[in-house]
Amino acid sequence: MSPAGAPGRTEDLTSTIHQWESPIPDDLLDGAAGPSGTAVPTRSVLEHGWWSVVAWACGLLLGAGALSDNSFLTHLATGRLIQSSGAPHADVFTFSSGGRHIVVQSWLASWWYATLDSIGGPNLIRLFVAFTCGAILLTLWRLSAPAGSLLGRLALVTMAGMVGLLWWNERPQVVAFLCLALAALVLQERRSPWWMIPLFGLWVNVHGSFPLGVAFVGVSLAVRALEARRIAPSDVAAAAAMVAGVVAGAFVSPYGMELITFPIELLGRSSSLILIAEWRPLDLVDDGQLQINNAVFVAQAAGILALLAWRRSWLRLVASAVFVAMALMAVRNVAVAALVLVPLAAPALAGLGSPDVTVVPPRRRRVAVGGVVAALVVAFVLSTPGYDLGAYPVAAADWMERQGYVGGGDGEDVAVLAHDYDGNYLEWRYGAAANVWIDDRAELHRFETIRDYVLLLSGLGDRSEILERNPHDLIVWSAQTRFARWLGTSDEYEVVYRDDSRIVACRLASERC
């Protein structure tokens, strides 16, 4: 009730309205009041509280595809080998390595994939990858929370997810990406620093990218200390726990401290690694899926760096630039850089744009809807083929197996010269009996082997000399290439099989021909 002699709120509003000489513009009444007199805000279709479920669903779908990655095929073959005879310390798949000493950095992931395969076949592996990708994207959404505005969060997570379209697959690195995202969440939400022990203990055994995780944690803690102008005891504990996790994880592994030193040793093999696409500097010149992905990352990085400069967040600008530089120096670092840019940039976006005022549904409802989405993805995976092997020489391998060239028995010692990705396929199919020339394990092969492979691909050099340097019995090669046509005219080879995809040529000087 208004004070005596003073007009009430309704009377005051009425008198104000009557002062208008023209009708009230409609835009002044939009969202002002509903039928009951309560405010009814106008929202866009994006303003809802289900974005965490959307992120979860998108991640599940991203990782639910059929298994097709060539590197994964060798990882699975290695896992089967670990199950049967323990972790290998010498290469048994390629004849060119001569049993060279190896450190299987992803030994635990390989064993895990083989275990899943033996229990539920390839579709169980697909489900594991799908749920891992779902967890990554959901964690990224949570990491974007400091940005505040809905559009800012969507931009950060969408760009990182678009880069992940190429890199989040069945390779063991997908587990490393989840470890990285969870480590970032531990730091951002100031969770118990001791979570770093299991995260890095797992990471060091599933993928050799853990030094990038160490770098991220170190850079993040440095930024935090400089922004606060003090070093928090919890941050010291987080750094110590991270180091303890790396050391403890390596100590209990079949390879001991070699798991830690091996990534450092790789730095001395730059002459070999530079010949591999994923180890080369980022470029946007060639056509293809990798270059499209690179372009998306460049757009993400340029946008974030420009925004950080505009916001004068110099510490986070420098920290972000460190990981962008790593990605520019080697394409294989792009996925890590795209991921860490989210937690590094999100706090700098706070206060930019309208705050996110959407009402988040109760957790129970979100979990229920997320469970329904997961059930639908499970149904999809179980009703579709586990593998997509259309890019591999399936028919050619079937023929070679019928002829006794591969698959054990008389074919066990037949040396097969093929593309690196076909080598991965034959290793998956025949295990140690594959006896291939090369696969995609760039860290294993000698410089001379990789160089000769690149020369055959490019058509440079004397083919006869290259083949003479790499003794073999059979050649399996893409049919629509100059090298395949050369084999068809060579006096040293006989093409014994041909289809639209591959040819098989037998070396006449070989006892197997």
Q: What is the C-alpha separation between 403 and 285, in angstroms, rounded?
A: 43
Helix, coil or strand: residue 308: helix
What range defines the domain where residue 443 resides? 394-507
Q: What is the pLDDT of residue 66?
A: 97
> What residues pair up with 417 in beta bridges, in sequence order?
475
> What residues pair up with 503 in beta bridges, in sequence order?
477, 498
What pairing do the DSSP bridges indicate for beta strands 502-507 and 474-478?
antiparallel
Q: What is the pLDDT of residue 410?
A: 56
**Least confidently predicted of 180-184, 438-442, 497-501:** 438-442
Are both 330 and 400 inside the same structural domain?
no
**pLDDT above 50 for 11:** no
Q: Can you read off the two tokens belonging to residue 392?
A: 């591999």
Are both 58 and 143 inside the same structural domain?
yes
Report yes or no: 340 and 180 within 8 Å, Cβ to Cβ. yes
Q: What is the pLDDT of residue 254?
A: 97
Q: What is the pLDDT of residue 360?
A: 78
Are both 294 and 198 inside the same structural domain?
yes
Q: Given pLDDT bands bounded at 50, 70 and 90, which one contains residue 335?
A: very high
- Mean per-residue pLDDT, 413-426: 95
Helix, coil or strand: residue 493: strand
The residue to which tokens 């083949």 are assigned: 467
What number of other Cβ atoms are within 10 A of residue 242's Cβ?
A: 27
Are both 257 and 293 inside the same structural domain?
yes
Q: Is 226 a member of any domain?
A: yes
The pTM of this model reads 0.87
Are both 416 and 312 inside the same structural domain?
no
**pLDDT above 60 for 503:** yes
Are both 274 and 149 inside the same structural domain?
yes
Percent of all residues in the chain with a pLDDT value above 70, rounded to a whole number: 87
What number of other Cβ atoms are within 10 A of residue 309's Cβ?
A: 12
Q: Is 236 a member of any domain?
A: yes
Q: What is the pLDDT of residue 16?
A: 38
The pLDDT tens digits for 27-78 are: 433 443 444 444 445 555 566 678 899 999 999 999 999 999 999 999 999 9
Q: Given pLDDT bands bounded at 50, 70 and 90, which one contains residue 353?
A: low
Q: Is 376 a member of any domain?
A: no
Q: Can you read off the two tokens belonging to residue 71?
A: 């590197």
Are both 412 and 295 inside the same structural domain?
no
Q: Given pLDDT bands bounded at 50, 70 and 90, which one contains residue 361?
A: confident
Q: Is 379 a member of any domain?
A: no
Q: What is the pLDDT of residue 257?
A: 95
Report yes or no: 473 and 415 within 8 Å, Cβ to Cβ. yes
Are both 282 and 422 inside the same structural domain?
no
Q: Given pLDDT bands bounded at 50, 70 and 90, which one contains residue 89?
A: very high
| Residue/partner pairs of 397-406 with CB below 8 Å, 24 or more apart | 397/425, 397/426, 397/429, 397/476, 399/497, 399/504, 400/474, 400/476, 400/497, 400/504, 403/496, 405/473, 405/474, 405/504, 405/512, 406/430, 406/433, 406/434, 406/435
Are both 201 and 315 inside the same structural domain?
yes
Are both 132 and 277 inside the same structural domain?
yes
Q: Can you read off the two tokens belonging to residue 268?
A: 């001395």
**Least confidently predicted of 200-204, 376-380, 454-458, 495-499:** 454-458
Report yes or no: 453 and 446 within 8 Å, Cβ to Cβ. no
Calculate the average pLDDT of the chain: 88
Q: What is the pLDDT of residue 42?
A: 52
Are both 170 and 298 inside the same structural domain?
yes
Q: Is 17 a member of any domain?
A: no
Domain limit, last residue, from 369, 402, 421: 369
Are both 354 and 403 inside the same structural domain?
no
Q: What is the C-alpha separation between 294 and 301, in angstroms, rounded?
A: 10
Report yes or no: 67 and 74 within 8 Å, Cβ to Cβ. no
- CA torsion 230-235-236-237 (nearest 10°) is 150
- Mean per-residue pLDDT, 249-257: 96
Q: Is 128 a member of any domain?
A: yes
Q: Given pLDDT bands bounded at 50, 70 and 90, which one contains residue 151?
A: confident
**pLDDT above 70 for 344:** yes
Phi-psi region of 234 (alpha: psi -120 to 50; beta: other; left: phi over 0): alpha
Helix, coil or strand: residue 417: strand
**pLDDT above 60 for 309:** yes
Choose from 148-162, 204-218, 355-369 the range with maximum mean pLDDT: 204-218
Overall domain count for the chain: 2
Q: Is 196 a member of any domain?
A: yes
Phi, psi of 491 (to 5 degrees): -80, -10
**Least confidently predicted of 18-32, 60-74, 376-390:** 18-32
Please report which helix (H) or strand (E) contains residue 363, including its range: helix 363-382
Q: Is 304 a member of any domain?
A: yes
